[in-house]
Structure 1
Amino acid sequence: MDTTTEQPQLLIEQQPHDEAEAASLAQLAELLAATDPLPDLRDLAPAVRQLFPAPAYLVGCGSAHIWLHRVGDPARLALIR
């Protein structure tokens, strides 16, 4: 079993809709930069949900990734892995 951990990486897949969303994405990048490597990204999901709350956003996660969608948009806004 591989027990190594890596620093979470943010991949922004769409341009922000407005300045507020751009600010939230910048805060997310800062959060990830300050986060120690995690073996399971599910521990980070609550903080992502605070930055991108429902009902405007959908945040899903697995042990190796967190995905972020705008409600009503099938394309991902961002991915953390």
Structure 2
Amino acid sequence: MDTLTEALQLLIEQPPHDEAEAATLSHLVELVATAVPLPDLRDLAPAIRQLFPEPTYLVGCGSAHIWLHRAAASQRLAIIR
């Protein structure tokens, strides 16, 4: 994937637990939609960690993806590529 020219893709894999999480996921959708494609997605991770802070959420990243988990769940909540 050429992240310099392609838009970021967000896949939300689990339904929100409550209205607050639904609102935060909506903010994530906006953040991803307005983010400038970056050559390394690790640069976007701090903004996502602000939206989904520890200890409730875990945010991990590599140069080509960012994943999001609820700390108490084994399944991924979302992934950004």
TM-score normalized with structure 1 length: 0.92
For 2:74 and 2:3, locate their aligned partners in 1 and report how far apart those are by CA, in whole Å.
Answer: 32
Deviations 1:2-60 (A, max 9, x none): 86522211100000000110011100110111111111100000000000000000000
Assess if the C-alpha contact under 8 Å between 1:9 and 1:80 holds in 2: yes
5+ residue gaps in structure 2?
none
Deviating beyond 4 angstroms after TM superposition, the runs of 4 or more aligned structure 1 residues are: none
**SS, match of residue 47 in structure 1:** helix
User: Counterpart of 1:33?
Assistant: 33
Report sequence identity in percent: 71
Q: Distance in 2 between matches of 1:36 and 1:79?
A: 17
How many residue pairs end up in the alignment? 80
Tell me the C-alpha RMSD between the 2 structures: 1.3
Taking a change above 3 Å as real, the CA distance of residues 54 and 4 of structure 1, as seen in their structure-2 partners, is closer
- Indicate if the aligned counterparts of 2:69 and 2:77 stay in contact, CA closer than 8 A: yes
**Structure 1 alignment gaps of length 5 or more:** none
